[in-house]
Structure 1
């Protein structure tokens, strides 16, 4: 899925001197406050981190609230959706005018009726609301379905995504994956058929050329040779 990236960062975590005996715990507690929030510095929502303390020697910094800084090197897993990226999420609510999705278990997304391509029609099947494709009867989106959709915009403050199902490569991920595999298989079969056809055509042309050459040779060999006297008589 697009929108996920890993970023290297050099950080300084400031800890109160009273926590000097529990530095590791204090660092993790401070870093945990970054989780599942959009961070402008990293340009994304922090999902996870892996840290290494670069320098264990720390000095108390003077001020109204004394503290000491610990330098860290961290790898940050970030969620940073941008317009035109493809994301995956689970449908949690579906209605005639929109459907709602949860991405990665924390970010909400909504897709309005005007952003759902005409191929999908709202229907009620066996008492369940669905968006069913009119082109492919097995392509159905319902509550609980995993879907792939296009990002239109991302509200960084409330972590809300506005999405679209207009592109043909969006819809039920289960159907898309199966259709892509079948499409690839058909393409491979067509390529093999074309290659065999080309090979047969080339063999046919080669065989025709050989037959023509053999026929020409046989024709010449079957013609009786004239003596020098006969050729001289014909010329006279």
Structure 2
């Protein structure tokens, strides 16, 4: 899946003076406060980190900010979707106007009626709502299906994705993977 990036980072984390004798804990608390939030500094949503403290002592960084700064190096796992990227999500809800998804277990996404290709028709089968292909009866999208979709927009503040199923390579991942092997 596109949108996941491992980034090498060199960071400075400011530590409150009261945490001066527990620097590793203060660093983990600070980085933990950025998890699953969009950060313009990182250029994405921080999902995980593996950092090392460079040096043993925290030192004051500059004269203006009295908090000691700790230098870090390491890797950051970022989720940074961009326009036209292919992402995968699990269908959480279907309506006749939209498909609602969960991406990576935390981000919400929606594909609205105008962005679902005409090949798919909304049906109710055995009291279950589905989108089924008119041409390939086994290409079905229902709650629990993992689908691949194209990113139309990404709201950084709410971590909400607007997607599209109109391009090639979009639809049920299970169906797409079988179709690629033929």
Task: Indicate the TM-score class for this superposition, using the shorter chain for normalisation.
Answer: over 0.9
* Number of residue pairs aligned between Structure 1 and Structure 2: 182
- The structure whose residues are more often helix, as a share, is 1
Residues 109 and 161 in structure 1, CA contact (< 8 A), matched pair in contact too: yes
Quote the offset at 1:62 in angstroms.
Answer: 8.3
Task: Give the equivalent residue in structure 2 for 1:115.
Answer: 115
Please give the TM-score of this superposition, normalised by the length of structure 1: 0.74
Question: 1:108-187, aligned counterparts within 5 Å?
Answer: 108-182=108-182
Q: CA separation in 1, counterparts of 2:43 and 2:79?
A: 9
Instruction: Single out whichever of 56-65 and 28-37 deviates more from structure 2.
Output: 56-65
- C-alpha deviations, 1:49-87, integer Å up to 9, x for none? 110111223234687984211111121100000111000
Structure 1 residues 59 and 168: CA distance shift in structure 2, 3 A: closer
Residues 23 and 58 in structure 2, CA contact (< 8 A), matched pair in contact too: no
Which protein has greater RCO, CA pairs closer than 8 Å, 6+ apart?
2
- C-alpha deviations, 1:156-176, integer Å up to 9, x for none? 111110000001311000111
Quote the offset at 1:6 in angstroms.
Answer: 0.8
Q: Show structure 2 runs of 5+ residues with no match.
A: none
Please give the TM-score of this superposition, normalised by the length of structure 2: 0.95
Residues 17 and 60 in structure 1, CA contact (< 8 A), matched pair in contact too: no
- The structure whose residues are more often strand, as a share, is 2
Task: Give the equivalent residue in structure 1 for 2:54.
Answer: 54
Task: Give the equivalent residue in structure 2 for 1:197.
Answer: none
Residues 12 and 71 in structure 1, CA contact (< 8 A), matched pair in contact too: yes
Residues 131 and 141 in structure 2, CA contact (< 8 A), matched pair in contact too: yes
Residues 5 and 79 in structure 1, CA contact (< 8 A), matched pair in contact too: yes
Task: Give the equivalent residue in structure 2 for 1:26.
Answer: 26
Quote the offset at 1:22 in angstroms.
Answer: 1.4
Q: CA separation in 2, counterparts of 1:89 and 1:36?
A: 17
Q: CA separation in 1, counterparts of 2:89 and 2:60?
A: 46
Quote the offset at 1:144 in angstroms.
Answer: 0.6
Q: CA separation in 2, counterparts of 1:114 and 1:150?
A: 14
Structure 1 residues 65 and 7: CA distance shift in structure 2, 3 A: closer
Instruction: Single out whichever of 88-97 and 55-64 deviates more from structure 2.
Output: 55-64
Q: Show structure 1 runs of 5+ residues with no match.
A: 183-236
Q: Which runs of 4+ in 1 moved over 3 A?
A: 60-66
Q: CA separation in 1, counterparts of 2:70 and 2:172?
A: 47
Q: CA separation in 2, counterparts of 1:83 and 1:64?
A: 40
Residues 20 and 58 in structure 2, CA contact (< 8 A), matched pair in contact too: no
Q: CA separation in 2, counterparts of 1:134 and 1:9?
A: 48
